[in-house]
Protein backbone atom coordinates (compact mmCIF):
# COMPACT_ATOMS: atom_id res chain seq x y z
CA UNK A 1 0.00 0.00 0.00
CA UNK A 2 1.36 3.43 -0.88
CA UNK A 3 1.46 6.47 1.37
CA UNK A 4 -1.16 9.21 1.01
CA UNK A 5 1.52 11.62 -0.28
CA UNK A 6 2.65 9.12 -2.94
CA UNK A 7 -0.95 8.54 -3.98
CA UNK A 8 -1.50 12.30 -4.17
CA UNK A 9 1.60 12.78 -6.32
CA UNK A 10 0.24 10.18 -8.71
CA UNK A 11 -3.18 11.82 -8.82
CA UNK A 12 -1.78 15.30 -9.46
CA UNK A 13 -0.06 14.05 -12.60
CA UNK A 14 -3.48 13.26 -14.04
CA UNK A 15 -4.85 15.18 -17.01
CA UNK A 16 -7.25 17.24 -14.89
CA UNK A 17 -4.91 17.91 -11.98
CA UNK A 18 -6.13 21.51 -11.44
CA UNK A 19 -9.68 20.29 -10.84
CA UNK A 20 -8.43 17.50 -8.60
CA UNK A 21 -6.37 19.96 -6.55
CA UNK A 22 -9.34 22.30 -6.18
CA UNK A 23 -11.50 19.43 -4.91
CA UNK A 24 -8.70 18.34 -2.55
CA UNK A 25 -8.65 21.79 -0.94
CA UNK A 26 -12.42 21.79 -0.51
CA UNK A 27 -12.59 18.36 1.11
CA UNK A 28 -9.47 18.96 3.18
CA UNK A 29 -7.10 16.41 1.67
CA UNK A 30 -4.38 18.97 0.94
CA UNK A 31 -3.28 21.88 3.08
CA UNK A 32 -3.28 25.43 1.79
CA UNK A 33 0.34 26.26 0.92
CA UNK A 34 1.25 29.88 0.19
CA UNK A 35 4.68 31.16 -0.75
CA UNK A 36 5.57 34.84 -1.00
CA UNK A 37 8.38 35.39 -3.51
CA UNK A 38 10.26 38.20 -5.21
CA UNK A 39 11.75 38.36 -8.70
CA UNK A 40 15.28 37.03 -9.27
CA UNK A 41 15.45 35.39 -5.83
CA UNK A 42 17.53 32.18 -5.83
CA UNK A 43 16.11 31.12 -2.45
CA UNK A 44 12.59 31.53 -3.81
CA UNK A 45 13.48 29.43 -6.84
CA UNK A 46 14.93 26.70 -4.65
CA UNK A 47 11.86 26.59 -2.38
CA UNK A 48 9.52 26.54 -5.38
CA UNK A 49 11.50 23.69 -6.94
CA UNK A 50 11.26 21.62 -3.75
CA UNK A 51 7.49 22.13 -3.55
CA UNK A 52 7.07 21.25 -7.24
CA UNK A 53 9.31 18.19 -6.94
CA UNK A 54 7.13 16.97 -4.07
CA UNK A 55 3.98 17.51 -6.15
CA UNK A 56 2.60 20.06 -3.70
CA UNK A 57 0.00 22.51 -4.96
CA UNK A 58 0.71 26.03 -3.77
CA UNK A 59 -0.21 29.65 -4.34
CA UNK A 60 2.73 31.87 -5.27
CA UNK A 61 2.32 35.49 -4.23
CA UNK A 62 4.60 38.05 -5.90
CA UNK A 63 5.97 40.27 -3.11
CA UNK A 64 8.63 42.66 -4.41
CA UNK A 65 10.20 45.28 -2.13
CA UNK A 66 7.75 47.98 -1.07
CA UNK A 67 4.62 46.09 -2.14
CA UNK A 68 1.48 45.49 -0.10
CA UNK A 69 2.08 41.75 -0.48
CA UNK A 70 5.54 42.15 1.04
CA UNK A 71 4.08 44.00 4.03
CA UNK A 72 1.45 41.25 4.38
CA UNK A 73 4.16 38.55 4.35
CA UNK A 74 6.15 40.41 7.00
CA UNK A 75 3.10 40.84 9.21
CA UNK A 76 1.94 37.22 8.84
CA UNK A 77 5.42 35.87 9.59
CA UNK A 78 5.79 37.98 12.75
CA UNK A 79 8.48 40.19 11.24
CA UNK A 80 10.15 37.91 8.71
CA UNK A 81 11.62 40.16 6.02
CA UNK A 82 13.52 37.67 3.88
CA UNK A 83 12.04 35.98 0.84
CA UNK A 84 10.51 33.54 0.42
CA UNK A 85 8.03 33.40 3.27
CA UNK A 86 6.14 30.10 3.34
CA UNK A 87 2.85 29.29 5.05
CA UNK A 88 1.14 25.93 5.39
CA UNK A 89 -2.50 26.18 6.46
CA UNK A 90 -1.80 29.72 7.65
CA UNK A 91 1.13 28.67 9.85
CA UNK A 92 4.45 30.37 9.13
CA UNK A 93 7.11 27.83 8.19
CA UNK A 94 9.80 30.48 7.59
CA UNK A 95 11.92 30.75 4.49
CA UNK A 96 13.87 28.48 2.18
CA UNK A 97 16.38 27.37 4.82
CA UNK A 98 13.62 26.36 7.22
CA UNK A 99 11.73 24.54 4.46
CA UNK A 100 14.85 22.58 3.49
CA UNK A 101 15.62 21.79 7.14
CA UNK A 102 12.10 20.41 7.63
CA UNK A 103 12.56 18.28 4.52
CA UNK A 104 15.97 16.94 5.63
CA UNK A 105 14.61 16.03 9.06
CA UNK A 106 11.58 14.22 7.61
CA UNK A 107 9.13 16.69 9.13
CA UNK A 108 7.96 18.32 5.89
CA UNK A 109 5.95 15.57 4.18
CA UNK A 110 3.64 15.05 7.18
CA UNK A 111 2.67 18.73 6.92
CA UNK A 112 1.28 18.02 3.44
CA UNK A 113 -0.93 15.16 4.60
CA UNK A 114 -3.66 16.72 6.70
Q: What is the pTM of this model?
A: 0.75
- Name the DSSP class of 72: H
**What dihedral angle (degrees, nearest 10) is formed by the CA atoms of 41, 47, 49, 52?**
-130
In a domain, 47, yes or no: yes
Flag whether 49 is in a domain: yes
Q: pLDDT tens for residues 48-76? A: 999 999 999 999 999 999 999 999 999 99
Give percent above pLDDT 90 in the chain. 71
> Does residue 26 form part of some domain?
no
Q: State the total domains in the chain.
A: 1
**CATH number of the domain bearing residue 99:** 3.40.30.10
Whether 98 is covered by a domain: the verdict is yes
Residue 54 lies in a domain: yes
Tell me if 53 sits within 8 A of 108, measured CB to CB. Answer: no
Closest C-alpha to 89, from 9, 31, 8, 26: 31
Instruction: Please report whether residue 19 resides in a domain.
Output: no
Query: Residue 31: which residues within 8 A CB-CB, separation 6 or more?
Result: 88, 89, 111, 112, 114
- Look at residue 71 and tell me if it is in a domain: yes
Helix (H) or strand (E) holding 23, with range, is: helix 17-27
Specify the pLDDT at position 30: 78
* Domain carrying residue 89: 31-112
Q: Is residue 67 part of a domain?
A: yes
Amino acid sequence: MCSPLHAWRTITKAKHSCAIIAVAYVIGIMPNVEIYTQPFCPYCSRALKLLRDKGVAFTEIDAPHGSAARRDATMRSNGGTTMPQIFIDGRSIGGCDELLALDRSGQLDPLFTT
